[in-house]
Amino acid sequence: MARLNILKLSHLGFRGAALRAHEGAPAAVISAEEQLRRAVLACMLWENEFYEDGESIATRISALVPRVAAETVAALAVEARERMKLRHVPLLLVREMARYETHRGLVAATLARVIQRADELAEFLAIYWKDGRQPLSAQVKKGLAAAFTRFDSYALAKYNREGAVKLRDVLFLSHAKPVSSEQALVWRQLIDGTLPSPETWEVRLSRGEQKREVWESMLRENSLGALALLRNLRNMQAAGVDEALVRHALELIRVERVLPFRFLAAARYAPQWEPELEQAMFASVIGQAPFAGRTVLLVDVSGSMGARLSSRSEMLRMDAAAGLAVLLREVSAKVSVYTFSDALKAVSPRRGFALRDAIVHSQPHGGTQLGRALGELRESYDRLVIITDEQSHDRVPAPRGRGYVINVASARNGVGYGVWTHIDGWSEAVVDYIRATDAGSA
């Protein structure tokens, strides 16, 4: 089984009260590798969060890289890019690897793998030169050159933007060699500035075309990707796009790689399409074998969960938490849902958007009394899954059986370690890992 976005820890206890979560609960002492995973896997790099600013998180990541084995850092960079779909933090990890002789040997292969969009070529160089321009190492050149050959004319033209670092700069500095005569021609066009512009919605709008006409033509052609469609529903609504076209597009949307929280976030700004969004959301989780036994979900609805995932994101921590609750509810044969803030509240048996609403409106969004909620929880279970940003006011006791803590933030310290199985981030790999861990514990 491939390594996922999680880390199972056992036999780690609290060491007095030296470390504390932001809201005061004793936090676990964890290794450098565990700290790095925690900082990385829910991280919108250089974007401020509720408890910490982005620079602090980036600085912590940079300081941890030399303390963790090169193979582990490289695997974490790949995991962050491929499983968590994070873009900037894998590039930072590779940039930091390039600083150290112990890590440098894996830079080329890792960089070539984590660069999956053409604009990330230039973004990596911007990160590399963040503290001042300097020569590129041989491993960095090799990685950039290998990545460059994977992008076709459309991809290069789409991301050939003005900026401090341009794609042609990367091409020159990496000394990449084309793999065919056709690619050599594309690169010559890139250098000369004659690449034909792709017909993306961004390009068409930048040319001054009417917004409604652009959206409606792309909807008729079914040429918008799933995320582009979800993220632009509000713009389509503002432009007066034919609602029947939007409904039809949502019926055709490919949902295999779209997580429930994306649909929840889209519905917050375009509620008139909730029925279609909910059906698409259910389609995204269909076909998974249910967990055996009883699952109890405990969802954090404290005040900090209403914060954005980052300063530049429109999605809330609550979107991520509710999306995970929707997902886990669908793959649980028997399930009970509770929320906690200053109290423990049972949530009515709901599915989909109704479950989201029941969670959000279950109680006032105040403090984070996770320890108290666990003390008041009387229901028996085969597994207990807590979805939280881990910043509890009070000490967190052990679960009565298998216990999982899913962390949706990147704060420095957390409470969900020790006898808990700790999971950072909010990808679909959560389901795979819980199932595998359950099987290993049986």
pLDDT single digits (tens) 316-327: 889 889 989 999
Give the torsion sign (CA, 28, 30, 36, 37).
Answer: negative
Model pTM above 0.75: no
Asked if the model's pLDDT at residue 192 lies above 80, the reply is: yes
- Closest listed residue to residue 332, CA positions, set 391, 284, 279, 289: 289
Q: Which two tokens mark 434?
A: 């819980």
Distance CA 239, CA 224 (A): 16
> What are residue 198's DSSP bridge partners?
none
pLDDT (average), residues 340-350: 96
Q: Which amino acid is at 345?
A: K
Q: Does residue 276 contact residue 255 with C-beta atoms inside 8 Å? A: no
pLDDT (average), residues 266-292: 89
Model confidence over 111-153: pLDDT tens digits? 999 999 999 999 999 999 988 899 999 999 999 999 999 999 9
**What band does 75 get if pLDDT is binned at 50, 70 and 90?**
very high
Where is average pLDDT lowest: 109-123, 308-322, 374-388?
A: 308-322
Longest CA pairwise span in the chain (Å) = 70
**What band does 43 get if pLDDT is binned at 50, 70 and 90?**
low
Where is average pLDDT lowest: 144-148, 203-207, 388-392?
A: 388-392
Q: Does residue 134 contact residue 102 with C-beta atoms inside 8 Å? A: no
Average pLDDT, the chain: 84
pLDDT (average), residues 14-27: 41
The proportion of the chain whose per-residue pLDDT surpasses 90, expressed as a percent, equals 55
pLDDT (average), residues 279-308: 90
Residue scoring higher pLDDT (437 or 234): 234
**What band does 360 get if pLDDT is binned at 50, 70 and 90?**
very high
Residues 6+ apart with CB under 8 A from 275: none
Residues 6+ apart with CB under 8 A from 291: 331, 332, 333, 382, 383, 434, 435, 438
Q: What is the pLDDT of residue 129?
A: 93
Q: What is the pLDDT of residue 8?
A: 33
**β-strands 291-300, 332-340: how paired?**
parallel
67, 69, 70, 75: CA torsion to nearest 10: -110
Q: What is the pLDDT of residue 290?
A: 87
Residues 6+ apart with CB under 8 A from 375: 397
Q: What is the pLDDT of residue 127?
A: 92
CA distances from 343 to 120, 146, 355 (A): 45, 54, 19
CA distances from 37 to 65, 68, 73 (A): 10, 10, 9
Model confidence over 154-182: pLDDT tens digits? 999 988 888 889 999 999 999 999 999 99
176: phi then psi, degrees, rounded to nearest 5: -65, 150
Give the torsion sign (CA, 425, 429, 435, 441).
Answer: negative
Q: What is the DSSP string of 189-215?
A: HHHHT-PPPP--HHHHHHTT--HHHHH
Q: What is the pLDDT of residue 53?
A: 39
Distance CA 288, CA 256 (A): 12
Q: What is the pLDDT of residue 15?
A: 34
Residue scoring higher pLDDT (429 or 145): 145
pLDDT (average), residues 75-84: 86
